[in-house]
Structures are given as C-alpha cells and as structure tokens.
Amino acid sequence: MSLDLESSNLEGSHLEQFIATVAKLRSPDGCPWDREQTHKSLARYLLEEAYEVMEAIHEGDPEKIKEELGDLLLQIVLNSQVAKDDGNFTIEDVAASINAKMIRRHPHVFADAKVDTAEGVVSQWQELKAKEKQEKLDSSSAAPEKKESALTGVPRTMPALLQALKISEKAVNQGFEWEKEADVWAKLHSEISELQEAISHPDLISPKNGEAKEQPQQKDRDKAKQDVALEFGDALFCMVNLARWHALDPEECLLMTINKFKRRFEWMEENSERPLKEHSPDQLNDLWEGAKSALSGNL
C-alpha cells in the first residue's frame, strides 16, 4: 500500500493541515487508538517527547531537533483535539491564551514599560505573574480554604533537581536567601558532615569478621537508612542552591556529567580487548585515565 500525501484534500498552512490530520484521526472513521486517548493516557507521551527534544538539543543536530519538536507538537495538538471533542477548548484557544500572556508579560515590547536587561525582564515577568495570580484569586467567587503558599505552582511530576531549583527561586522571591555565597558553602559543608555522620551510624555498620556484635532491630536499621536519605537530600538541595547562585541549571549540569561519563565508558569498551568485568581495578583505572586523555576537550 502506498500513500499519496500530495493528493489529500487538506488546505491551508502546514500547521493547519496537521491540525486537520489529527482531527481526522480522532473522527469516527479515523484511528481506533487515537479515538481512545484521553489527557491522562497521553500524559506519559508528552513527557517522553519533551525529554527527546532535550536530548536532540544536547546532541546539537538541527534535523533531529526538528523531528522531535514535531513529535512534541503532535502531543500538544492531540491533547487540544481531545479537549475539543470533550467540549472544553480548542487549539485556537490554546494559541490565543499563550499569545495574550506573552503580550501581557512583555510590556517593554508591546507597551511603554522600560526594561533594558535580561535580569530586569525576568524580574518584571515574576511581578506580573504574581499580580495576575492575585487578580485571579480576587475575582474568584469561592473563598480559598487557606492562604496559598508562595511555593505553589511547582508540579510534583517535575524532575526533582528542577523542582528544587524552582522552589528555591520562589523562596528567594520572598526574601529567603543567604547573604553571601560563603554562607551557601558553609551550609553545604555542614550538610555533608551530617550526611557522613548519618552514614556512620552504628546500626548501618556491618560487623567485621569474627567481631561479636548485636544486630540492630529492623526498625532501627530502617530509621537509620531513612536518616541517611534525608541528609543526602539536604546535601543535594544545597548543591542545587549553589548552582542557582552561579546561574546554572543543576539538571543540565548533571546531564553533562552523565553524557561525559557515558562517552568515557564507551571509549573504555571500544579500546579493551576483553570485557571490562575481566579487568582488575588497576587496569580499569588505567583505561579510565586513557579515556579522559583521549576525550579531553570533548564536551
């Protein structure tokens, strides 16, 4: 079977044609799989496609970025079509809403506000966002059960490092911030010391050969492990804030290190005459140093 894409009856721009294609897929005589989809069933695909866009961007391949952006666009259009079929909103409503928001949030472009720096733009954006949120609350007929936290609005489904960064930024907007970078370092050193202390808890230390030691109760061991997890989280959270002080995205930083590790490990595999697991620790270390030297300067 061959498909003649040029002979379709679709008119308009490529974007309009694509919207019509998705609508056809959701129609009674369309695709059974597409007709069955809901916002909930599509959520995982939306997240997966967003991550694939990120990976393509990291690889720096324009063609792959274009392809992955198309896959992400499919999820946006398909979710919008689901909403239209349910009588909630359309893709036009989505576009109109974000267009209006961008105009409101850029008064230095579309009105007479004066902002000359990127930092000023970010500050203005946050102020306008807070104002809009308050106006929405004021116009709501239902009285809120309790005062909304300044930390509200960070999705729990967001990657943990990114959540930590967003929550920290919101706290800083309320004035909750270290006075100087040295204070951040001091806090980090303190958290690492507490982590080391938690890991050294007697209930987590296995007895040496021949050493008599009463084994801890399982509940005590579980409590000690939970304390380690909490201290580990505190140290990570502090690292995220140190990244924030240097205008770094901790998620991006970790991804860079993961990719660097993968490249070096793959070099080791390619340059070893036998499986890596058959090498001694010293031999593996020599291979690792060889990878570092061979790939130096390769980000």
List of domains in the chain: 12-104 (1.10.287.1080), 108-135 (no CATH), 160-204+216-294 (1.10.287.1080)
**Closest of 86, 82, 85, 122 to residue 105, by C-alpha:** 122
CA 69 to chain centre: 17
Pairs from 50-57 (Cβ < 8 Å, separation ≥ 24): 54/255
CA distances to 24, 49, 59 from 257, in Å: 44, 22, 14
**C-alpha–C-alpha distance, residues 255 and 241, integer Å:** 17
Residue 82 CB partners (closer than 8 Å, separation 6+): 26, 37, 38, 39, 42
> What's this model's pTM, rounded to 2 decimal places?
0.68
Which whole-number Å values give the CA distances from 176 to 164, 173, 181, 199, 241, in the listed order? Answer: 14, 7, 14, 30, 12
User: pLDDT by residue for the chain (299 residues), tens digit each?
Assistant: 454 444 455 567 999 999 999 999 999 999 999 999 999 999 999 999 999 998 899 889 999 999 999 999 999 999 999 999 999 999 999 999 999 999 999 999 999 999 999 999 999 998 998 899 888 877 776 655 667 788 988 988 888 999 999 999 999 989 999 999 999 999 999 999 999 999 998 878 765 555 555 666 888 888 999 999 999 999 999 999 999 999 999 999 998 999 999 999 999 999 999 999 999 999 999 999 999 999 987 66
As a whole number of Å, the end-to-end CA separation of the chain is 45
Please name which of 292, 298, 290, 296 lies closest in space to residue 273, comparing C-alpha atoms: 290
